Structure 1
Amino acid sequence: MRATMMDELHKPYVDTARSKGLPTYKVILKYPVRHAVTPLASTIGWQLPNLVSGSAIVAIVLSLPTTGPYLLQALQGQYMYLAGTFLMMLAVLTIIGTLLSDIILALLDPRIRLS
């Protein structure tokens, strides 16, 4: 976000807003922050399943009680209902995360809104 923000601060529309006499905090919050947050908001949706599942390999090696080792045990023991439930839960969380990130993007960037 910092790199995108630094790129946005040197764009002509920021100079135009400053030349209109807007305070610096309004210029920064209204224009470049909205553009700099867009890539961050689009990747948040894909991180929601990772928060729940955790890193499976790290959890297995460190014997952490997360869903990663349980999913591995379910797959090795051929417990198809348990493994299917885990995978369905991760798929639902991916869909919910994508929906939330799309809603956040629609609020931040008016170009994304459906007409």
Structure 2
Amino acid sequence: MATQKELLRRRASRVRRSIKAVANGRPRLSVHRSSKNIYAQIIDDAAGRTLAAASTLDVGLRGELKTGADVAAAAAVGKLVAQRAKEAGVTDVVFDRGAFIYHGRIKALADSAREGGLNF
């Protein structure tokens, strides 16, 4: 019997494999959420480097958020990562939700990133 951690790792790799198949050279917007914070980064898999990143632990966001674990915090991170991506010259990405279901905080981050100017 596989452990919960193993099942999450399998789901994340399954999602990532399908994303990389349709990426066509676009960087991916990878999202991770914990019980207290949410993190997003835009990764160029061809070069193996991070182009832009944002999280609820950033100094600018930390002071204005009540908590790092709600939908408002996820929306703020989505807007910030979209702004930093545009500064880095990235507009088209592919969304990598990892092992997380597309609802709640993950959906709020994605919608906010779209409003910020990212296309996916």
TM-score per shorter chain, which class?
under 0.3
Higher strand fraction (1 or 2):
2
Higher-Rg member (1/2) = 1
Give the TM-score normalised by structure 2: 0.25
Higher helix fraction (1 or 2):
1
Give the TM-score normalised by structure 1: 0.26
